[in-house]
Structures are given as structure tokens and as C-alpha cells.
Amino acid sequence: MSLLESEAAGVVMTPDHIRSKRLPLLTNLGVAAAALVAAAAIVFGFGIGGWVLVVVLGTAFYLAGLYAAATRVEGRRAARNRFWQTLIYTACILAVLPLAAVVWTLVTKGVARLDGDFFGTSMNNIGARDPDGGAYHAIVGTLMQVGLATLMAVPLGVLGAIYLVEYGRGRFALTVRFFVDVMTGIPSIVAGLFILAFWVLLVSPIFNNGTPRFSGFAASLALTVLMLPTIVRSTEEMLRLVPGPLREGAYALGVPQWKTILKVVLPTALPGIVTGVMLAVARAAGETAPVLLVAGGAAAINFDPFAGNQSSLALFVYQQAGDASKYAPQRAWTAALTLVALVLALTIAAKLLARRNRLS
């Protein structure tokens, strides 16, 4: 039968439709079981590890056994294809397992304090033997600090990326791009020390009768320093992916460059830009060192980000995890679950907003 006749009959010539010897499913399962048994015998027989090492060693044995069995049944070429396909699936599963383990641990250990008291009270006047107390002050601090940081970092980062892609030429643009790359890997403690030396010790005394002042706004400045390079680099890459004919078509119609960027380029790249922004927001929401250095942390609720100590969820988790109280670990796990849920909710909302406003 020719290719045209097979297509006319509704049969697509793919590797799945080619008749050849295939490794039976029972043989595949048998190889997997034998690999796990052999790995468990080696690991537990010599006492060199636990179940994690059994899984890793069993995976290696399984891939080797599968390749040998498939070579005998299907041939070397098909066995090589099956080997790499199985390796890709295995790598995908191994990559998802840690994430699933983290989510399961957070849910199982954090659900114990998911009550109104946790979300409606602070740690003010809560002793080591008091089972009450919540993270309301930390939730307020996180929303304020990350919100202010986002308001400062997103316009600066997007405008900086627009300059690098649309206008930047020569040494200055290369210098800006170089320093953005360097700032991408800056430790959070360095950002906190910079804001401590610049804002808290030099600038804040001007507005506080010569006395340095910790504040949530100082923490927002430190988080802005951490968010900026991520937003600039992600936005720059998304803008470069916008097809050139879209710009050329707008220019041919007489549209100015600034309006082309605003009405054509940015809406096209908006989903990717939002993803980069949310990555930066997630990093900022999980930082502890900058908040501890320049906001100080507080057990009471503080709605003023420009005056007084302020806490955050990440700092609350750090403090409760090191507290000697037997009730502190439950608060830490619930706060960690709350932080992850908060970032997830913000990401979903931002994605829905970007999908609604992107250029169709």
C-alpha cells in the first residue's frame, strides 16, 4: 500500500502504526520490580542509606535493565528510543516529586491552625505557654511591603527593559545590562545592608529629629532592589520575542514609536511580563533578612509602613520556627502555608488579568 492509499484509508504513518516487535508491559513491570528489589537488597544489606537511595539506585537499575530487555526484543534502535523516552519521563517525575512533597507537608502540618484566631490576632502579649496568637500583623506587613515594592519596581523595571530593547544602543546600554545581570544574583542580606546604611541610618534621621527609624517602607526599598533585576531581565526577553513585523506594520501606518510600544509591543508581551513580575513578587514575599535588618519585626499590628517596626510572614515563620514554645511550630507551618497560598492567589489573579488585556 502506498503512502497516499494509507492516508486515504485514514491511517497516519507514525511510529505507533508501524508493525514491529514491542516489549510486553508485563516485562516492563517485571524489570521495574526486579530493579527495586535489587536496589533495596544492596542499600539495606550494606546499610548505606534509606528509601531515597533505593529509589535512585532502582531507577538506574531499571533504565539499564529496560535497555537490555528492549534490545533483545525490539532491536537496538528502538531500545535506544525507549531508553531516552523513559529517562525523560523519569526526570519529569523526579522533578515534580519534591514540589509535591513540599505542598503535602505544608498542607498536612499547616492546616492545624487554619482558624479565625490565627488570621484575626497578632502575637502581641502572647507568652510561651499561650496556645493562641496569630499572624494578622505579619499578613498586613507582607501585603504592605510587597505592595509598595511592586509599585516601585514594576514601572522602573518595565521602563528599563523598554529602553534596553527599543532605544538602548552603545556602551551605556551594555553597561546597564551588565549591572542588571550582576544584581540578579545579589544576596538578599546585601540589599538589606545597603538600605540599612543608606535609608535607615542616613535618610530617615532627617524626618525623625535625627534618630534612625526602622519601618516597613525601608523593607519595601530592600525588596525593590531584589525585584528590579528579575523584572528587567524577564521583561527584556519577552519584548525581544515580539515579532518585528508587528512594529514595522505600526510604523508603516504612521504610528509613533512610543505609541507602538504602548499599544502593540507591551500587550503582545504582557503574559510573559506578568510571569516575570510574579516571580519577583514571590521572591520578595519570601525574603527574611531584609525585613529583619530594616523593619525590625514586631509582635503588634502596625498599619503605618513609614513609622515603627513591622513584621512579615517570612520573618514570622523564621521567628516561630526558632521559638522554644511547643505551640510555635504549628504557627510557623500555618504561616508558611498562608504565604504560599497568598503568592498563588496573586499569581492566578495576575494571569487572569493579563489574559483579559493582552493583544488578540
pLDDT value of position 19: 55
pLDDT band with cut points at 50, 70 and 90 for residue 20: low
What is the pLDDT averaged over residues 103-127?
89
Taking only the tens place, the pLDDT of each residue in 243-264 is 989 898 989 988 899 999 999 9
Question: Sorting pLDDT into bands at 50, 70 and 90, what band is 27?
Answer: confident
Computed over every residue of the chain, the mean pLDDT equals 87
- Over range 196-216, report the average pLDDT: 90
Please choose, from the candidates 88, 66, 89, the residue with its C-alpha nearest in 3D space to the C-alpha of residue 78: 66
Question: What pTM does this model have?
Answer: 0.80
In this prediction, residue 49 carries a pLDDT of 78
Q: Report the percent of the chain where pLDDT is more than 90.
A: 39
pLDDT surpassing 90 at residue 26: no
pLDDT of res. 233? 93
Q: Is 200 left (phi over 0), alpha (psi -120 to 50) or beta?
A: alpha
Q: Is the pLDDT of residue 7 over 60?
A: no
Q: Which cell goes with 304?
A: 503605618
pLDDT tens-digit readout, 282-318: 999 989 999 999 998 888 899 999 988 999 999 999 9
Say which residues have a Cβ less than 8 Å from residue 285's Cβ, sequence separation at least 6.
142, 146, 312, 313, 314, 339, 342, 343
- The stretch 352-359 carries a mean pLDDT of 65
Q: How confident is the model at residue 139 (pLDDT cuts 50, 70, 90)?
A: very high
Q: Which of 180, 201, 158, 192 is nearest to 314 (CA)?
A: 192
The pLDDT of residue 64 is above 60: yes
The separation between the first and the last C-alpha atoms of the chain, rounded to the nearest angstrom, is 45
Q: Higher pLDDT residue, 130 or 224?
A: 224
- pLDDT at residue 322 in the model: 86
Tell me the helix, strand and coil percentages in the chain, rounded to 5: 75, 0, 25
The 10s digit of each residue's pLDDT in 175-199 is 999 999 888 888 999 999 999 999 9
Q: Which residue has the higher pLDDT, 75 or 229?
A: 229
